[in-house]
Structure 1
């Protein structure tokens, strides 16, 4: 029997590779989808920011230096970017009804993120949230 040609060896290699791809695709299984509406709605919501019990009334919490979640009045929650609109510093504290930037002294109201004291001229960027079963999530 003559030795296989180079062309035949390349063809066999490609055919074997294609067979392997087809076989792996045939055995791939999708994860099961949630069957209940509650699970599906929770999956479609964004990441968890905080528990409602962890946000003080008349105050708030800075989450991972990225988000600010406030509760200006009992049962009302708001979320904002933690990035000051003056020069982009991360806000550092929430006291006396304001979200405070340490860099240049800007203060923002916890109820709506509006400027309480400059030099910032624009409010903090508000983020949509969903509150359900004691969990606050980004929408």
Structure 2
């Protein structure tokens, strides 16, 4: 039968593991001026650079800004949050018309944000985007 010291070690190990698990979850959902993890829409206009960086019929990840921008064949831009709706991790790559989450393997459609493969089941939120003076601007108007 274990003594008090063994039982105490078990409790301390459990507390340490719980603390580590909490840190891992926090790392997946950080906050910035681009909005909160629960609402990843930018709270101020975000200049994404030259609109030509996203040619017609393609999509591009702006990982630092946590945004995904697509341009249809007819030149219309759409933007989505690039934060996975499962755990808040930032998408890491685009393959064809799907974007990948590196944390748990969720995949999303780059045009409409639909969750194609889980564990995510909620689509990526839409983000307003426009072209001003040849630059892509995401978020609300100033």
Distance 2:71 2:129 in 1: 12
What 5-or-longer segments of structure 1 have no aligned partner? 1-44
Give the equivalent residue in structure 1 for 2:69: 69
Say whether 1:53 aligns with 2:46.
no
With structure 1 as the length reference, what TM-score do the two structures score? 0.60
Greater per-residue helix proportion: 1
Q: Which has the higher contact order (CA 8 A, sep 6+)?
A: 2
What 5-or-longer segments of structure 2 have no aligned partner? 1-43
Deviation string 1:28-86 (CA, Å, 9 cap, x unpaired) is xxxxxxxxxxxxxxxxx822123221014333222115111122434021111111001
Q: Once superposed, which parts of structure 1, at least 4 consecutive aligned residues long, lie more than 6 Å away?
A: none
- Secondary structure at 2:130 match in 1: strand
- Secondary structure at 1:70 match in 2: strand
Paired residues, what number? 95
- Change in 2 beyond 3 A, CA 1:84/1:129: same
- Change in 2 beyond 3 A, CA 1:106/1:58: farther
CA contact (8 A) 1:69 1:78 kept: yes
Structure label with greater radius of gyration: 1
Q: How is 1:1-139 mapped onto 2 (pairs within 5 angstroms)?
A: 46-63=45-62, 64-138=64-138, 139=140
